[in-house]
Amino acid sequence: MTGGAGFIGSNFVLQCIAKGETVINLDLLTYAGNRANLIEADREACHIFAHGDICDAAFVGALLREHHPQAIVHFAAESHVDRSIADPGAFIRTNVQGTFTLLEQAKAYWLELSETEKRNFRFLHVSTDEVYGSLRPTDPAFCETTPYAPNSPYAASKASSDHLVRAYFHTYGLPTLTTNCSNNYGPFQFPEKLIPLVILNALEGKPLPVYGDGMNVRDWLYVGDHCSAIQTVLENGRPGETYNIGGNSERANLDVVHTICSLLDELRPNATIGDRRTLVQFVPDRPGHDRRYAIDASKVARELGWRPTVSFEEGLRRTVQWYLENAHWIENVRTGAYRDWIRQNYEERIAQ
């Protein structure tokens, strides 16, 4: 698998290790890749970590032939919309060029397999609902046949990678699968994203920056549910198919922020800070900010029997509790570079 030291990838690694599966984990360890996410996995012989770049064709090819995997699960990606606005080139390199390189090496490896191994091999590409663009309040949720309409450099780079994966199935017969998920949250999420950013700022009594009017809507998916969905698709999905993975939990951003404040006021009250909802500060909206995402996950439920099991309320409580209990992890990821990014992207907006 690729990107297994990141947020979703590391949660997937831990699920696989718990099932006794061997995982070869390829990660470049950029700012959001963290070996500390893999401490439990590193204790197990079935976790093999490989520090490398998915754009390095020779390295990827050698890794495939050395370990002879039955599947590739491709998580590695640049994934933060704000960062894609500031530096789109990095997203094209990782998400487009990296996926192309991986597909090329996977195809060459797959062609060398026996006929039985070829039939059993899978290449699963993990993508996002952002490729579909933005919904109006009354529009039906995104389904697998919704036309692509990406509105950010991040979304465009992921849409490009989705098209490449589709092309390698239809052109070369490589047995690919694609999953498009809604917004994930849970343990190990890098604190530039909304939920961990709000948790950490609210704990410290700092302003809680909310874009625009706070009414942008997202469908929230607990990361453990997402990982189980990926396992289900990997084991039972039909090659060449796309499966949308959602949490059936649409919430406005402001509602999410208020819920986190209420949880922290309950679990970690602070008389000096008081009601943490008063920390909310509306900031100028990001360019091209999509208004609403929603996922129709009926296909994966109907065909493969997968449904989310963790409600948003329960998942958010688990997430807040995890951040409360893992102060050392938080301190290690909040480097000077991270602080510079937060200052540039949020604090300067607040000052406007």
- Catalytic machinery residues: 129-130, 154
SS3 assignment, position 136: coil
- Residue 68 near residue 16, CB atoms below 8 Å: no
- Residue 15 near residue 228, CB atoms below 8 Å: yes
Tokens read off for 168 = 């390698």
Q: Which helix (H) or strand (E) holds 219?
A: strand 217-222
Tokens read off for 147 = 């036309």
Which among 211, 194, 344 has a CA at the least distance from the CA of 288? Answer: 211
Look up residue 285 and give its DSSP letter.
P
Distance CA 84, CA 82 (A): 5
Distance CA 103, CA 98 (A): 9
Which among 121, 124, 103 has a CA at the least distance from the CA of 113? Answer: 121
- Cα dihedral 59, 63, 64, 69 sign: negative
Q: Which helix (H) or strand (E) holds 40?
A: helix 39-42
Distance CA 185, CA 8 (A): 9
Distance CA 245, CA 127 (A): 10
